[in-house]
Amino acid sequence: MKDLSGFSFGATSAVTSSLALMVGLIQLDVSRTGLIGALLVIGLADNIADSLGMHIYSESRSRNPSKLSTITNYLTRLGITLLLIAFVLFLPISLAIIASVIVGMLVIAVLSYLIAKEHSLTVPRSSFSIMRNVTEHLAVAALVLVMSNLVGSAIHLFFHS
């Protein structure tokens, strides 16, 4: 398998950041326009910041960092964010959130599976479980969503009571 670092970082970051934003903001009765605007800010500005961070980290580890990983990271994050924006544009908000969470968790599950499958070729079967790896990644993503939901709910309660 080729180096998936740019894609894997971009996909994971886009899914967790965007879904956290959506799940948290929906608790605040944000409008469709506000949600799309927030997703665009994450998909463009925060995406550049993360890509720069990834690139600088890559430079610190190697004299010849892969610009391809940086570009792949950016394009992957942008693509996933635009897909989630399409859900918000064309579906009722509650259905858009559900579809986004399902697709996002599927992206993390498939990516985790592919990476774990690749690693299982070099690690003895007794000490490495592909399904445990996938489950751990999905659990962390779910924790991010639960925390975002709780923060959004707490802010809503604080300002509307």
Going residue by residue through the chain (161 aa), what tens digit of pLDDT does each one get? 456 666 787 889 899 999 999 999 999 989 999 999 999 999 999 888 888 887 788 778 776 767 777 888 889 999 999 999 999 999 999 999 999 999 999 999 999 998 888 877 555 554 568 888 899 999 999 999 999 999 999 999 999 87
How many domains does the chain fold into?
1
Q: Could you tell me how far CA 41 lies from the centroid of its own chain?
A: 14
- Selection from 68, 102, 88 nearest residue 22 by Cα: 88
Four-point Cα dihedral 80, 82, 83, 88, nearest 10: 130
- pLDDT of 137 reads 94
Question: What range defines the domain where residue 45 resides?
Answer: 5-159
How far apart CA 149 and CA 151 sit, in angstroms, is 6
Rg of the chain over all Cα atoms, to the nearest angstrom: 17
128 to 97, 116, 122, 132: CA distances (angstroms): 34, 9, 10, 8
Number of CB atoms found within 10 A of residue 49's CB: 11
The pTM is what? 0.86
